[in-house]
Structure 1
Amino acid sequence: MQIGLHALGIGDGARPEVIRAVASTAEARGFARLWVGEHVVLVDEPRSRYPYAADGSIPVPADADWLDPLLTLAFAAAATSRIELATGVLLLPEHNPVLVAKQAATLDVLSAGRFTLGVGVGWSAEEFAALGVPFARRGRRTAEYLAAMRVLWSDDVASFEGEFVRFEGIRVNPRPVRDRQLPVVLGGNSEAALRRAATLADGWYGFNLPAAEVAAHVNTLAAHGARLDQGPAGFSVAVALTDGTPDLLPALASAGVTELVVVGAPPAAPHEAAAWVDALAAHWLHPAH
């Protein structure tokens, strides 16, 4: 099983020198992938409930630095050469899909084909309102945006007509490195999110999930048609756990998990951030027996 790291873009993890230290050290120690999440805006007193914590509160101060994930990963790509990169997740319905298609393909080219586009539908009505995007039907919007982006990546001259996006006879270059497509991972832990992941994406990213619930979620993915157990070209299952320990790795692999994502906040000093990654690698990649 692969081990990924979700640690960049927020707070001290938004400092360029820390990004460079964490990314280069994670690559050197054998982490498989760097994940970076997104919120365009936060509010001091949200009415929307954060779905990944029992108390419904996002554990990030509203005044914390939170970098754009695509720009953060581009910076990390320049500091590395092998480690994979993924948005975990980009809130796709908040963006223009033509622009995201170009940005994502650009990042894939600049990273020599190391990028996976992780997307989600979002949960903050206040964020959607600030961006002037309807909160209702955001799942349907996400599905249509993904369909349009795949057309843009694959066709030399692309046309698409849907409810939310239309274009005719346009060229959007560059193209993704791998056969004019990007692997797409869909995030979210709800039944609707699992259905979307299984039917629309190449993988699923479950975030802040108790280990005891993983097998049931994977079974739900399979019930919705996810292409599990089909090797490298099959459906990827990445999870970040609330209670993960290295001794759980064999059981997670047996359940169908392909990547365990370690979530953490690095310290502010670059040398301390590198040592922090070293400690994570010793714990997760080379656990004592």
Structure 2
Amino acid sequence: MEIGLHALGIDSGAERTVIDAVAGAAERAGFSTLWAGEHVAMVDESASRYPYSQDGQMAVPPTADWLDPLIALSFAAAATTRIELATGVLLLAEHNPVIVAKQAASLDRLCGGRFTLGVGIGWSRDEFDALGVPFEGRAQRTQEYVAAMRTLWRDEPASFHGEFVNFDGIRVNPKPRRGRVPVVLGGNSDAALRRVVEWGDGWYGYSLADLEEVAERVSLLRGLCREAHRDAGDLRLSVSLRHPSPNDVGRLADIGVDELVLVGSPPADPLEAEAWVGDLARQWMWVLH
């Protein structure tokens, strides 16, 4: 069982000095992974319901700074040497997959193979409209984009022909340090868990209500693995809870979760941000020993 930290890239966590402070302190304290999420565009009044809160509203205001997660994590990579880095999540259907394949492989090479690409299909129609990407079919688009990216990471030269992506005999370098970048999927719905089993390397369950919901979702995931004749042990399971407690860690481990991700916003002052990580470590790390 490990404990990760989702605290970079938004509002105060979008400042370079705070990224340096949080990343370095998290590595020294023994956190497993630094996570950073994404929204390219926000609107003041969303036509779509936010799926990760009880009231359907995001806690992050639309006026907040929100860094591109790959850029934010590149700065975190430069400030660290061991801690893992992950997008939680990048909305892949909003991007060109050939470019993301190159960006992800570049970051993975520069950080020494510490990068995991977390992807989601997205929930905000407004955001897709602003980018000129169809909201319908985004799950199928995401699946095909991942397949195309894995082809680019593996083959030299690479060819791929699908509904949304077509290229023939191209070379996109560098290749990832381990030959591929692990791809974990966000989303808590039944459909999201089916995607994890069908083509993911893991699951990032975000803002789950409680341990009962975690247990129910993991049980469903294991059942889907059995139906698909896939070993559930091949999937890395990371979750965040709306109201986590150190007392939850043992139960999460029993359920089969690999990583509890703490979600928070660091103070704007770098010294206070470093102390904030230290306080989190004192509250949480003792349960791992």
Q: TM-score, normalised by structure 1?
A: 0.96
Number of the residue aligned with 1:176 = 176
- For residues 1-289 of structure 1, the aligned pairs below 5 Å read 1-178=1-178, 180-210=179-209, 211-225=211-225, 227-229=231-233, 234-287=234-287
Work out whether residues 2 and 32 of structure 1, in 8 Å CA contact, stay in contact via their aligned partners in 2. yes
Residue 228 (structure 1) shift: 2.3
Runs of at least 4 residues off by over 3 Å: none
Residue 3 (structure 1) shift: 0.4
Residue 286 (structure 1) shift: 1.8
The AA in structure 2 aligned to 1:156 is: E
Q: How far apart, in 1, do the equivalents of 2:152 and 2:223 lie?
A: 30
Q: How far apart, in 2, do the equivalents of 1:281 and 1:197 lie?
A: 30
The AA in structure 2 aligned to 1:227 is: D
Segments of structure 2 that go 5 or more residues without pairing to the other structure are none
Q: How far apart, in 2, do the equivalents of 1:103 and 1:261 lie?
A: 24
Residue-by-residue CA offset, 1:212-242 (whole Å, 9 max, x unaligned)? 201111111112215323xxxx210000001
The AA in structure 2 aligned to 1:58 is: M
Q: How far apart, in 2, do the equivalents of 1:223 and 1:265 lie?
A: 35
The AA in structure 2 aligned to 1:228 is: A
Over aligned residues, Cα RMSD in angstroms? 1.2
Q: How far apart, in 2, do the equivalents of 1:283 and 1:44 lie?
A: 36
The AA in structure 1 aligned to 2:200 is: A
Work out whether residues 37 and 69 of structure 1, in 8 Å CA contact, stay in contact via their aligned partners in 2. yes
Work out whether residues 249 and 287 of structure 2, in 8 Å CA contact, stay in contact via their aligned partners in 1. no
Q: How far apart, in 1, do the equivalents of 2:175 and 2:214 lie?
A: 35
Q: How far apart, in 1, do the equivalents of 2:104 and 2:274 lie?
A: 28
Residue 287 (structure 1) shift: 4.9
Q: TM-score, normalised by structure 2?
A: 0.96
Q: Measured at CA, do residues 205 and 158 of structure 1 come closer, stay the same or move farther in structure 2, by a change above 3 Å?
A: same
The AA in structure 2 aligned to 1:222 is: R
